[in-house]
Structure 1
Amino acid sequence: MFKHIIFDCDGVLVDSEPLSMEVDRDILAENGIAMTLEEVGSQFIGLTFEAFVEKIESDYRIKLPRNVTEDKNRRLLALYERKLKAAPDIHDILALMALPMSVASNSPRHRVEAAFRIAGLSKFFGDRITTFEDVARGKPAPDVYLEAAKRARVTTGSCLVIEDSKAGVASAVAAGCHVIGFTGLAHDGAALGRSLSRLGARKVVNRHADLPAAIAAALRL
Structure 2
Amino acid sequence: MSRPTDERLLYLIKSRGPVTARDAGAALAMTPAGAQQWFAKLAEAGLVAPEDRRHGRGRPLRYWALTEHGHRRFPDRHSDLTLDMLASTRAVFGADGLERLIAHREAQTLSKYEAAMAGCATLQARVAKLAALRSAEGYMADWQRTDDGGFVLVENHCPICAAAAACQGLCRSELAIFRAVLGPGATVERTEHVLDGARRCAYAIGHASQPAEV
TM-score range, shorter chain: under 0.3
- The TM-score, its normalising length taken from structure 2, stands at 0.26
The structure with the largest strand share of the pair is 2
TM-score normalised by the chain length of structure 1 = 0.25
Task: Find the structure with the greater CA-based Rg.
Answer: 2
